[in-house]
């Protein structure tokens, strides 16, 4: 992701790097809006309080922009998960809805990306040229895949302040859970440390690639069956 690109170097031009950062930021921002909307809707359905809205101006937009910037640089997020007043079982469902939304968006993006790859191969076979529009749309979908998978991975970590932390607290005794969640004030520092170490060591890229490859497996098998053309994934 972006931090790995900065720390490890890249052969991309300045313009290409700038476009990649911009695409990642835009994708991260709208991914935050979508996942929080889904979680709020589910929270309301389960009897909790939330104000679901896809309007970014109806939410704390400064926080969302800041979180998108952090996600862009570190492949993670500092969004503090909301802990609605629900039973423990319903709280787990509401907390899981956020990373699951990210994974569903990534899954759909992989499908659309692979469809575009098939179209691109067909055009390239006939004309020996790659349409620029298909290349950039493919980049957008692939960026969406990487951002949403990274978001889901870091959000499910059992750290106070994340949805993973909320889920873990639901399985702890009440007093222990309260003490555990009280450490959410340190979640920024903990996440920052984990994200930098993971990005620098290549763990982030390896984890994202592993999840993406697993999601893409059925599409690759199906495309090879229906369209016996050689595609370099």
Cα–Cα distance for residue pair 170/91, rounded to 1 Å: 8
pLDDT band at residue 16 using 50, 70 and 90 as cut-offs: low
| Per-chain mean pLDDT for the chain | 77
Nearest Cα residue to 152 out of 111, 202, 210: 210
Question: Structure pTM?
Answer: 0.73
pLDDT band at residue 130 using 50, 70 and 90 as cut-offs: low
- In this predicted structure, the answer to whether residue 25 has a pLDDT above a threshold of 50 is yes
| Residues in Cβ contact with 29 at an 8 Å cutoff, skipping those fewer than 6 apart | 56, 64, 65, 68
Average pLDDT over residues 131-160: 83
pLDDT band at residue 100 using 50, 70 and 90 as cut-offs: very high
- In this predicted structure, the answer to whether residue 77 has a pLDDT above a threshold of 70 is no
pLDDT tens per residue, range 39-71: 888 988 888 888 888 877 777 777 777 777 766
Average pLDDT over residues 210-226: 79
């Amino acid at each position: 992701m972006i931090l790995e690109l900065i720390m490890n170097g890249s052969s991309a031009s300045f313009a290409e790097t700038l476009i990649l950062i911009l695409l990642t930021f835009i994708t991260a921002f709208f991914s935050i809006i979508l996942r929080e909307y889904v979680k709020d809707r589910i929270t309301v359905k389960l009897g909790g309080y939330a104000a679901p809205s896809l309007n970014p101006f109806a939410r704390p937009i400064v926080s969302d922009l800041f979180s998108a910037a952090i996600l862009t640089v570190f492949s993670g997020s500092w969004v503090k998960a909301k802990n609605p007043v629900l039973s423990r079982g319903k709280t787990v469902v509401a907390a899981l809805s956020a990373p699951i939304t990210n994974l569903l968006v990534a899954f759909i993006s992989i499908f659309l990306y692979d469809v575009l790859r098939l179209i691109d191969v067909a055009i390239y076979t006939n004309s020996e040229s790659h349409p620029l529009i298909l290349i950039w749309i493919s980049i957008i979908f692939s960026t969406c895949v990487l951002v949403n998978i990274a978001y889901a991975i870091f959000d499910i970590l059992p750290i106070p302040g994340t949805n993973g932390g909320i889920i873990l607290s639901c399985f702890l005794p009440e007093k222990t859970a309260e003490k555990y969640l009280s450490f959410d004030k340190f979640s920024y520092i903990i996440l920052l440390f984990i994200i930098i170490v993971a990005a620098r060591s290549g763990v982030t890229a390896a984890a994202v690639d592993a999840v993406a490859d697993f999601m893409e497996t059925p599409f690759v098998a199906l495309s090879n069956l229906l369209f016996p053309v050689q595609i370099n994934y």
